[in-house]
Structure 1
Amino acid sequence: MTAAKVDLKDDDAYRAHRGEFRTLTVPERSYLAVDGHGDPNTDAFAVAVQALYPVAYALKFASKAAGRDYVVPPLEGLWWAQDMDAFTRRRDKAVWDWTLLLLVPDWLGADDVAAAVEHTRPKAPERLDDVRLEALTEGLCVQTLHVGPFDDEGPVLRELHHEVLPGAGFSPTGRHHEVYLSDPRRTDPAKQRTILRQPVG
């Protein structure tokens, strides 16, 4: 009998509701990661995405061949700037820094990722050699669900950073984290679902 395909989103960290700011603890996770800077509506951002996915699918198919299949998880991103008001107020995309992420199952490790990168090499995606395996420990976080275009996140982030966190006695301790539950290529912007997460202390 074929083992059931694992959906990595079947996890508390991928649960969020619109209008609810929920506190949770996110354990250490491993991700495929690639870094960038500037406006995400650029070729540089698209090239970074295109470097991640071939490696992710090579990992998936190797894992399936070894007897453990899973659904490639949604794209995620860490976002930061020297002045975080560039996110919450001005939305000044030119100064944003980012790391794009794809979750790696806990039964796969550095050797598996290295093999997946080499398997992908004949396809020669740009920035392939910039893709790495990164461990991320976020710990205590507050997250919510944003429904709508990415450019409409500002009011939700302002509420999170200037009302919710101070009201609960929290302050940000890590980079702003987004989980893209919808594929923007196939989803009406008004229906896009994005988890907005902030590590706190």
Structure 2
Amino acid sequence: MSTPREDFKKTHRDLYSARSAPALVDAPELGFLMVDGVGAPEGEAWSAAVAALYTGAYAVRGALKAAGTVEYPVMPLEGLWWPGDGQRYEESDRERWHWTMMIMQPPQAAADLVRTALAAAARRKPGLPVDALRFTAWREGRCAQALHTGPFADEPATLERLYAHLAAQGLEITGRHHEIYLSDFRRAAPERLRTILRYPVAAR
């Protein structure tokens, strides 16, 4: 019997696609591999953490496929970012940014399977901080999001549209700056990058 296939970007299409016009979505509880750190995204700590995260995500995918449970494309990289200096995200010191990088995992990924897969991945990649990964159920709830196309440095213009939308709707931000990277920024030209910018929100 063949392994069932599923594309979780399509299953959760409202969470992993967006338009440039701001819109509201509801993000349910989902499982994520996560890793935390501090520093600019071009720093060594961030690069090593992201490499470890992908290593873990592919290890879990391989374990689920080997078990005949489900086969799927690994989900996009995501990041929660918040400043360490009290400024707005886009105005803060990059070297003091705090972050949680994460990749969504399928509902079939039981904790025991994830733990075993990560332990094996840590043995294969001793130079990466795979041991720092955690597997967590996380619900973001009601959010506002918009698609940003172009370099990360140009995000403030998209964020201003998003802030204006929130003000017009009587909403306020209640959580951390969330980015979902639909493009592989290691290979795509900066002007072609596609990034969903998202914030949890609530009525004022």
User: TM-score, normalised on structure 1?
Assistant: 0.92
Moved beyond 3 Å, runs of 4+: 82-86
What is aligned with 2:184? Answer: 183
What is aligned with 1:136? Answer: 138
Residue pairs, 1:1-201, within 5 angstroms: 2-10=2-10, 11=12, 12-18=14-20, 20-67=21-68, 68-82=70-84, 85-88=87-90, 90-122=91-123, 123-161=125-163, 163-201=164-202
Secondary structure of 2:41 counterpart: coil
Answer yes or no: is the 8 Å Cα contact 1:86–1:93 preserved in 2: no
d(CA) in 1 for partners of 2:22 and 2:140? Answer: 16
List runs of 5+ in structure 2 lacking aligned partners.
Answer: none
Q: For the aligned residues, what is the CA RMSD?
A: 1.5
d(CA) in 2 for partners of 1:37 and 1:104? Answer: 24
Answer yes or no: is the 8 Å Cα contact 1:38–1:97 preserved in 2: yes
Give deviations 1:114-162, integer Å, cap 9, x for gaps: 111111122214222110012221111011100001111112113323x
Tell me by how many angstroms 1:83 deviates: 5.6
Answer yes or no: is the 8 Å Cα contact 1:28–1:136 preserved in 2: yes
Q: 1:158 to 1:94 in 2, by over 3 A?
A: farther
User: TM-score, normalised on structure 2?
Assistant: 0.91
Tell me by how many angstroms 1:92 deviates: 2.5
How many residues are paired up? 198
Give deviations 1:39-93, integer Å, cap 9, x for gaps: 11111110001111111111101111122111111100001125664423x2521
d(CA) in 2 for partners of 1:95 and 1:109? Answer: 35
d(CA) in 2 for partners of 1:7 and 1:30? Answer: 15
List runs of 5+ in structure 1 lacking aligned partners.
Answer: none
Give deviations 1:150-188, integer Å, cap 9, x for gaps: 111112113323x11121111111111110000011101
State the AA in 2 paired with 1:70. Y
